[in-house]
Amino acid sequence: MTEFTPIASTLGGVLIGLSAAMLMLFHGRIAGISGIFGGVLRRPSGDTRWRLAFVLGLVVGGLVLGFAAPQWFVVEVERSPLAIIIAGLAVGFGTRLGSGCTSGHGVCGISRFSRRSILATVTFMAVGAATAFVITQVFGGVL
């Protein structure tokens, strides 16, 4: 069970939207995390620095919040290390193949009514929902 948190979640979304707006206003770039992180893993280019700085902001933010708000980092799902690794590989390969994730397609793309982003978001939501459903119903929530 997790608690329904409409207000905190809306406020969190507002901060995410502000962060994405900041990146566009200052750097002229889309806040797509998979694209930014994937770019860091490529051959260094003129974009490597700001991308690294953004990723570092995410990491340092997590480090500070881990102490300031540990309740934001509880896991409460039963997944084996192997399941987590397979999931990570799928998310890494899939977000690069599909040119985006929840932030790039789900927020930035849908905001400008991109047909590609809308369809990508519907697809990953539907497959995510089906996957979670199967894990709960067939595997009893343990994988």
Tell which positions 56-95 bind another protein, by CB under 8 A: 56-63, 65-66, 69-70, 72-77, 79, 81, 83-95
Interaction between residue 44 and another protein (CB under 8 A): no
Residues 6-35 that bind another protein (CB under 8 A): 6, 8-31, 33-34
Task: Give the residue with the Cβ less far from another protein, 12 or 44.
Answer: 12
Burial code (b: 16+ CB inside 10 Å, e: under 16) for 67-103 equals eeeeeeeeeeeeeeeeeeeeeeeeeeeebeeebbbbb
Q: Is 109 exposed, middle or buried (0-12, 13-18, 19+ CB in 10 A)?
A: buried
Strands (E), 1-143: none
> Rule CB under 8 A: is residue 3 a binding residue for another protein?
yes
Mask: binding to another protein, 99-118, rule CB under 8 A, as x and -? x-xxx-xxxxxxxx-xxx--
Cβ at position 83, least distance to another protein in Å: 6
Does 136 help bind another protein (rule: CB under 8 A)? yes
Decide: is 126 part of the binding site for another protein (CB under 8 A). Answer: yes
- Residue 45: count other Cβ atoms within 10 Å of its Cβ: 9
Is residue 138 close enough to count as binding another protein by CB under 8 A? no
